[in-house]
Chain A
Amino acid sequence: MLLALIKIAILLGGLMTAAAYFVLLERRMAAWIQDRIGPNRVGIPLTNIRIFGLGQPLADGLKFILKEEFTPSHVDRALFVAAPIVILVAALSLFAVIPVGSFLPSKVAGHPLSDGPIEMTVAPGVDAALIYVFALSSIAVYGVILGGWASNNKYSFLGGLRSSAQLVAYEVPMGLGILGAVLAAGSLNLSEIIAAQADRGWFALLQPLGFVVFSVAAFAEAARLPFDLPECEQELVGGYHTEYSGMKLLLFLVAEFLHMITAAFLMVILFLGGWHFPGLTGSSMALDGWGHPGELWLWGQALVRAGVLLGKVFCIIVFFMLVRWTWPRFRYDQLMSLAWKVMLPLGLINFVVSACLEQLQGTLGYAWLRWVAIALAWIVLFGAWIGVSLLGSVTENRPRRPAQPLESDLRA
């Protein structure tokens, strides 16, 4: 209980800080890509020390607190307040089962902290962890559609509708990608999925097509560019949070950032090997201190593993930010055809192929089949790539009926 509370305090503090500082990082990267300077002024107050703008998130937070907490009169009050609460609580609670490392040793300098190794998860040993993650990430749809509906504003309403349709559409390919990883690991527990990858190779290597499908779906679920149609500011002002201001807007924005962090964590844990790095972290699930006796080695290994996992997550988040300033936004019909006509069949193909290969290896049991399976999986990836580009016209949306001549043209 006490251990769980300590973990929760560290997790919530870490997440809120990370979200705040990733905003700063994103602004600095945007500035760098667009050849601007970006926020670099705010440092220590009352002095002239600027420390690269590291005070900016604190100043932003303070400003949000001091802004008016305004609820317009035309909205549905209860739902209007409930929407940001629902979306942020779900986005935070989701991290209960997500590991941020492997284990910590149970002792510091001889003093026991716990009766066993401490798993770096708030709720270790939840068997249905992935189902829980999946369920809570779906709750984001409720927050979005409640916010859009309650605002009683046409921009919000359209943004909420678009957003819910997008989130719902990309949940199917996301589920298919996860299913491939679950099949390969034989478990829904995220720590065990990492252990399976440390043992048998990263799933991005074994199921490259599944990784691609999952990553695209994760971008869409996090509503990042090129999938940021829920809040495309040029068309819908702010989408579902047009009417929100002050702290309630902050809750929505933090939840959106947390969705991106979640997506990065899931990509790393399900497909990129979690804490595992060949030749650096050891590949057994329990800590072995690289074969050296002594707690110091165990602590070293535990920290290296956590560092590897968080480092991978950081790289994925930087990738998210680079993508944001690289691709333009999709049109809504392109978004929908990508989900239903490209990603869904690709996900099914990945699932069927990896299930067949898995079954073949399992029943025949030859060791060399493993390499054949990997080669085949990569051939399927490139085949799918070529296939999609050849069949591109199938997924294109042609006008549903030929354009009618104008009345004035008929008279002439």
Chain B
Amino acid sequence: MSSVLLPTLLLVIAATLLTLGMLAAGMLFGPRRTSAVKEMPYESGMDPIHDARRRFDVRFHLVAIAFLVFDVELLFLYPWAVANRTWLAWLNQANHTEHLTAMAEATQAVHVNPTLVFAEIMVFIGILAVGYAYAWRKGIFRW
């Protein structure tokens, strides 16, 4: 267990204890009176017909799929977003008038060419945008 994450674990445990303690306090001190009406699902005073778990609109499913697609694609961008500033700083350490040499040095130092990676990210977003336009055209976002 790394010492960095230990306080996080402690907080999760403390929060769980607090929550359970609150529930327990409610159970200890609250009254207990039950009645047939109280046990019924609340439907504004009507007697409920059918179970509540019925078929529902397929659009909720489409939203979930669209979310998965876009959120996972976003997660791919995070590592680059974190690393990019460091790469650019390396680039800038060299004098910017000797731009090409600096670029070559930076590329050697980190085995990465920031401009090339940037271009790749833009291509990635371009493909994402095409997919987005397709999804829109297909009517996934129509509610």
Which chain A residues lie closer than 8 Å to B87 at the CB level?
A: 362
State which of A187, A333, A344, A359 has its C-beta within 8 Å of the C-beta of B118. Answer: A359
Indicate whether A73 sits within 8 Å of B67 (C-beta atoms), given known contacts A152-B51, A352-B122. no
A355 to B64, Cβ gap below 8 A? no
Task: Find chain B residues with CB under 8 A from A212 CB.
Answer: none
The A114-143 residues at the B interface (CB cut-off 8 A) are 122-126, 131-132
A123 to B26, CA, bound (A): 31
Q: How far is the CB of A223 from chain B (nearest CB, A)?
A: 16
Which A residues are in CB contact (< 8 Å) with B77?
179, 351
Binding-face segment, A165-173, A278-286, A306-314:
A165-173
B23 to A, closest residue via Cβ: A247
A74–B40 contact, CB under 8 A? yes
Q: Which residues of B contact A126 (CB under 8 A)?
A: 4-5, 8
Q: Which of B40, B91, B140, B142 contacts A397 (CB 8 A)?
A: B142
A62 to B119, CA, bound (A): 60
Q: B129 and A348: CB pair below 8 A?
A: yes
Chain B proximity mask over A248-262: 1 for CB below 8 Å, otherwise 0: 101100000000000
Q: Are B30 and A188 in contact (CB under 8 A)?
A: no
Nearest A residue to B103 via CB reads A363
Q: Which of B85-143 contact A (CB under 8 A)?
A: 85-89, 91-92, 96, 99, 103, 114-115, 118, 121-122, 125, 128-129, 132, 136, 140-143
CB-based contact B96/A365 at 8 Å? yes
Which residues does chain A contribute within 8 Å of B38, judged by CB atoms?
70, 72
Contact A85 B19 (CB under 8 A): yes
Interface segment among A101-109, A155-163, A288-296, A370-378: the answer is A155-163
Which residue of the partner chain, among A1, A188, A348, contacts B6 with CB atoms under 8 Å? A1
Given contacts A4-B7, A122-B11, A165-B60, contact A175 B74 (CB under 8 A): yes
Residues of A within 8 A of B64 (CB): 165, 168
Range class of the B interface residue count: 35 or more
Q: Tally of A-B residue pairs with Cβ under 8 A? A: 232
Q: How far is the CA of A235 from the CA of B124 in the complex (A)?
A: 42
The smallest C-beta distance from B3 to any residue of chain A, in angstroms, reads 9
Residue of A nearest to B128 (CB): A348
Nearest neighbor of A248 in chain B, beta-carbon distance: B23
- Assembled-state Cα–Cα distance A301/B67 (Å): 44
Chain B interface residues (CB < 8 Å from chain A): 4-8, 10-12, 14-16, 18-20, 22-23, 25-27, 29-34, 38-44, 48, 51-53, 56, 60, 63-64, 66-67, 70-71, 74-75, 77-78, 81-89, 91-92, 96, 99, 103, 114-115, 118, 121-122, 125, 128-129, 132, 136, 140-143
New contact pairs (16) apart from A72-B41, A92-B11, A251-B23, CB-CB < 8 Å = A69-B27, A93-B8, A93-B12, A154-B52, A157-B52, A157-B53, A179-B74, A179-B81, A183-B81, A183-B84, A247-B22, A247-B27, A340-B141, A359-B84, A361-B88, A363-B103
Interchain Cβ contacts under 8 Å between A and B, 23 examples: A4-B7, A8-B11, A12-B15, A66-B31, A70-B34, A70-B38, A72-B41, A93-B15, A123-B7, A151-B41, A154-B41, A154-B48, A165-B60, A179-B81, A186-B85, A186-B86, A187-B82, A250-B26, A352-B125, A359-B88, A362-B88, A365-B96, A397-B142
